[in-house]
């Protein structure tokens, strides 16, 4: 029976809904099933458990029964059909009859390791068996997808199967056929060995991060249950009964290993196997490397641990394999996994925890942001106890309540976010969050400036929280860079009303600071010193430090360069500003509004009196092969972020623009380049790789690379 197979495949039990006889219990005898909204909610809940959590609570037959009931109701009362009714979605058909497939050789898993020491121990164990033989290692990302075996007979794709319990999987051939990145016929695209009679490759079905985001966005617009991560979306897509539905899912396939191969002995190393796959038009994992020593192997794993976010697909670790097939044979297998390979696992970027409370934070422009206070949990290698909820609409969208169990995600440097609520964990004691009527910091009545805006704000410019956040922004490294003016100091300065605006910072005396808690002589001296040093900062930094709405770091430096002094900028009209390509009408209006205010005028006068620099130093551009060149980046860069690359271009006197035009000098194409590359080709613009770009940078004068 199909459901039993699903159980086996996922290794999870449906304890709660199956009786000892194997028949579904009468547990879900739902009251009011004829009421359409109750039914719809119930179906949505089961969709969520099935597709998102991978933990179905009812059998497929029961589920089909619910759908049928709703369909019958809606047929009788067509006016009751809502746009978001589960009957209006295509994913209604569920799998219950994928045929079992016995794997010719078991699809085993890998032993997981979590530290450098464990990798070295594995290597030592291998050395014990291999003696003094020299080894090579194949190291590649561990794709966070769904394992799948593809069988080719005489070069023709004949069978696609899931891993199942490793011995027996499920036949998902029609669904696999919809994956465009897997060839239906193997063709030799380059000089290579003849295609064997039987060639079974194994690999990972996955969805790229970008496509996953877009896909979930579409589900969100339809009001459906979101997928927690790309892996769940891939698993759900492969399990579709109707391959037409699977065909609409952005699935991809990477080969990473093999099952049975019959015919001539075609390769004697993993690397050779991968090369042959490529020559047959099968996609192998990018960034696979042959390492000559365990140290090089570990370094490569660590590199990707740091850079995992830059990859276009989710990875949960690295896989290390001994390259030589002869050595693999000597090492052999345990019952569960090969001795010739291991997985080095990274810390998970998702975790579930309890949301203890929702507090409201006031930003420097008065915008109120709800923040979730969480039961501390490790996620992505750090302990997380708070997470932004972005805005009040997000609370509604997630239907998150105080006391809920939530799934959080932390990708790289990004602040952790609440992805979804685990509704099955609800006890009924959760509390719905109420939007406050007043600012939690100054008690002013909060406002929504425009009806269409999602943000609420505190309208009081003297709100201490707003002042504190503006001061922190003013002092931060990218702005006036005042070391020592951090959270604790600012909080006390504002609370004691010693600082009410930016200019007050420059009137602070040593004896004022001595009144602050935990403020020792040396610290006072250092803070006064860095306040004085900050007076010399460039105009561009000062403009950025003001925190003018819509004016970021880049716009501030454009303004400073174009106008040279603050007095010139103060006099600029909207027309003057919008004549600058980087400045749009919204930003221009915001700048003019800022400088038209009497308070701004007073502030600038006081800052001038304190001796602050109000001019932009004329930078002498370093002459390089990028000087006055217009460069466009497309795709993802491996060695640095896009913004760091753009900064480098600017430092070398070039201009990094976002659109390709006939004036573009060259385009740097990273991984998965977008439409800009197509446009560049059309316009015959020079295209260079990231490596070539790095070469140019390296040859340029005195630029520290990283
Ligand atoms: S090699 C004996 N390479 O990780 C298995 N597996 O527990 C040899 N996986 O479900 C597999 N990325 O599907 C290998 N680059 C990679 C992989 C990879 C992901 C999956 C694999 C299996 C699990 C291993």
Domains by residue range for the chain, with CATH: 6-88 (1.10.287.610), 111-345 (3.30.470.30), 349-425 (2.40.50.140), 464-609 (1.10.150.20), 630-699 (3.40.50.10190)
CA geometry: angle 505, 511, 514, nearest 5 deg: 90
> Among 447, 453, 448, 485, which residue's Cα sits nearest to residue 469?
485
pTM as predicted: 0.60
Binned average pLDDT, 10 residues per bin, the chain of 706 residues: 25 26 32 62 73 60 80 84 63 58 93 94 96 95 96 94 91 92 83 85 96 88 80 91 88 96 84 93 93 96 90 95 97 92 91 95 93 91 89 91 93 78 91 95 89 83 93 94 93 93 94 81 90 95 94 93 95 94 92 94 96 81 73 86 81 82 89 83 88 81 43
Q: Mark 545-566 as b/e (b = at least 16 C-beta within 10 Å).
A: bbbbeebeebbbbbbbebbbeb
In the prediction, which pLDDT does 596 show?
Answer: 94
* 255 Cα to the center of ligand 1, angstroms: 10
Exposed, middle or buried: residue 626 (CB in 10 Å: 0-12, 13-18, 19+)? buried
Which contiguous run of DSSP H or E holds residue 669? Answer: strand 666-669
Residue with the two structure tokens 């009196």: 609
In the prediction, which pLDDT does 507 show?
Answer: 95
Q: For ligand 1, is residue 274 a contact (CB within 6 Å)?
A: no
Most ligand 1 atoms within 8 A of CB, residue of 165, 206, 256 to mutate: 256
Most ligand 1 atoms within 8 A of CB, residue of 105, 142, 163, 314 to mutate: 142
Q: In the structure encoding, which two tokens stand for residue 398, read together?
A: 């997630």
In the prediction, which pLDDT does 257 show?
Answer: 97
Residues 6+ apart with CB under 8 A from 368: 360, 361, 362, 392, 436, 439, 446, 455, 456, 457, 458
Q: For ligand 1, is residue 203 a contact (CB within 6 Å)?
A: no
Helices (H), 476-629: 487-495, 502-505, 510-513, 521-534, 539-546, 553-563, 566-570, 574-578, 585-596, 598-609
Most ligand 1 atoms within 8 A of CB, residue of 143, 164, 284, 289 to mutate: 143
For the CA of 318, the closest atom of ligand 1 is: 15
* 188 Cα to the center of ligand 1, angstroms: 25
Query: Which residue in the list 135, 142, 321, 417 is annotated as catalytic?
Result: 142
Three-state DSSP string of 484-505: CCCHHHHHHHHHCCCCCCHHHH
Residue with the two structure tokens 């006890």: 427
For the CA of 338, the closest atom of ligand 1 is: 2
In the prediction, which pLDDT does 228 show?
Answer: 84
Residue with the two structure tokens 């036949």: 171
Question: Would you state the torsion angle of the CA atoms of residues 690, 691, 694, 695, taken in this order, to the nearest 10 degrees?
Answer: -140
For the CA of 142, the closest atom of ligand 1 is: 12
What does DSSP say about strands 655-657 and 630-634: parallel, antiparallel, or unpaired? parallel
| Annotation says 142 is catalytic | yes
Three-state DSSP string of 303-344: HHHHHHHHCCCCEEEEEEEECEHHHHHHHCECCCCECCEEEE
Q: For ligand 1, is residue 235 a contact (CB within 6 Å)?
A: no
Q: For ligand 1, is residue 143 a contact (CB within 6 Å)?
A: yes
Residue with the two structure tokens 């106890």: 385
> Among 105, 78, 200, which residue's Cα sits nearest to residue 151?
200
> Among 116, 205, 192, 129, which residue's Cα sits nearest to residue 155?
192
């Amino acid at each position: 029976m199909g459901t039993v197979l699903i159980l086996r495949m996922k290794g999870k039990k449906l304890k709660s809904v199956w009786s000892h006889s194997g028949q579904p219990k009468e547990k879900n005898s739902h009251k009011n099933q004829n009421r359409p909204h109750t039914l719809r909610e119930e179906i949505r809940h089961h969709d969520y458990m099935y597709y998102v959590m991978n933990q179905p609570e009812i059998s497929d037959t029961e589920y089909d029964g619910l759908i049928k009931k709703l369909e019958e109701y809606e047929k009788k009362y067509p006016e009751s059909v809502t746009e978001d009714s589960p009957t209006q979605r295509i994913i209604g058909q569920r799998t219950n009859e994928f045929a079992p497939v016995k794997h010719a050789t078991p699809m085993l898993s890998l032993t997981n390791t979590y530290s450098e020491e464990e990798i070295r121990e594995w290597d030592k164990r291998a050395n014990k068996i291999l003696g003094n033989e020299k080894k090579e290692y194949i190291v590649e990302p561990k794709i966070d997808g769904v394992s799948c075996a593809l069988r080719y007979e005489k070069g023709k794709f004949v069978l696609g199967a899931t891993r199942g319990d490793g011995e027996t999987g499920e036949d998902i051939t029609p669904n696999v056929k919809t994956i465009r990145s897997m060839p239906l016929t193997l063709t030799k695209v380059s000089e290579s060995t003849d295609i064997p009679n039987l060639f079974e490759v194994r690999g990972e079905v996955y969805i790229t991060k970008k496509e996953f985001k877009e896909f979930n966005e579409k589900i969100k617009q339809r009001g459906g249950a979101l997928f927690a991560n790309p892996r769940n979306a891939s698993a759900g897509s492969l399990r579709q009964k109707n391959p037409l539905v699977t065909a609409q899912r952005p699935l991809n396939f990477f080969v990473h290993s093999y099952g049975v191969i019959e015919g001539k002995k075609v390769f004697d190393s993993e690397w050779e196997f991968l090369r042959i796959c490529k020559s047959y038009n099968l996609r192998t994992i990018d960034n696979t490397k042959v390492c000559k020593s365990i140290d090089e192997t570990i370094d490569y794993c660590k590199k990707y641990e740091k850079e995992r976010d830059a990859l276009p697909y989710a990875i949960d670790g690295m896989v290390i394999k001994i390259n030589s097939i002869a050595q693999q044979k000597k090492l052999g297998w345990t019952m569960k996994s090969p001795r010739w390979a291991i997985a080095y696992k990274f810390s998970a970027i998702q975790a579930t925890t309890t949301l203890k409370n929702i507090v409201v934070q006031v930003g420097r422009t008065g915008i109120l942001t709800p923040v979730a206070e969480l039961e501390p949990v490790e996620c992505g290698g750090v302990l997380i106890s708070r997470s932004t909820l972005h805005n009040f609409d997000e609370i509604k969208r997630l239907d998150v309540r105080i006391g809920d169990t939530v799934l959080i995600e932390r990708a790289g440097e990004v602040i952790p976010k609440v992805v979804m609520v685990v509704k099955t964990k609800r006890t009924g004691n959760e509390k719905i969050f109420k939007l406050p009527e007043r600012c939690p910091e100054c008690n002013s009545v909060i406002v929504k400036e425009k009806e269409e805006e999602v943000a609420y704000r505190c309208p009081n410019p003297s709100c201490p929280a707003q002042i504190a956040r503006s001061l922190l922004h003013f002092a931060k490294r990218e702005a006036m860079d005042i070391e020592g003016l951090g959270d604790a100091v600012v909080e006390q300065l504002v609370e004691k009303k010693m600082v009410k605006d930016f200019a007050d910072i420059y009137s602070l005396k040593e004896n004022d600071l001595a009144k602050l808690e935990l403020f020792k002589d040396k610290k006072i001296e250092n803070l006064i010193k860095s306040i004085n040093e900050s007076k010399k900062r460039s105009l561009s930094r000062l403009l950025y430090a003001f925190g003018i709405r819509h004016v970021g770091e880049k716009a501030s430096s454009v303004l400073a360069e174009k106008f040279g002094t603050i007095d010139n900028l103060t006099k600029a009209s909207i027309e003057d500003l919008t004549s600058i390509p980087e400045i749009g009408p919204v930003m221009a209006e915001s700048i003019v509004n800022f400088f038209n205010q009497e308070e701004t005028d007073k502030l600038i006068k006081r800052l001038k009196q304190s001796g602050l620099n109000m001019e932009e130093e004329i930078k002498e551009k370093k002459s390089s092969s990028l000087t006055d060149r217009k460069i466009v980046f497309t795709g993802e860069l491996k060695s640095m972020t896009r913004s760091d690359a753009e900064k480098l271009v600017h430092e070398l006197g070039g201009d990094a623009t976002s659109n390709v035009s006939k004036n573009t000098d060259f385009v740097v194409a990273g991984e998965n380049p977008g439409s800009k590359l197509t446009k560049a080709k059309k316009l015959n613009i020079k295209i260079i790789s990231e490596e070539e770009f790095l070469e140019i940078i390296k040859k340029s004068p005195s630029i520290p690379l990283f």
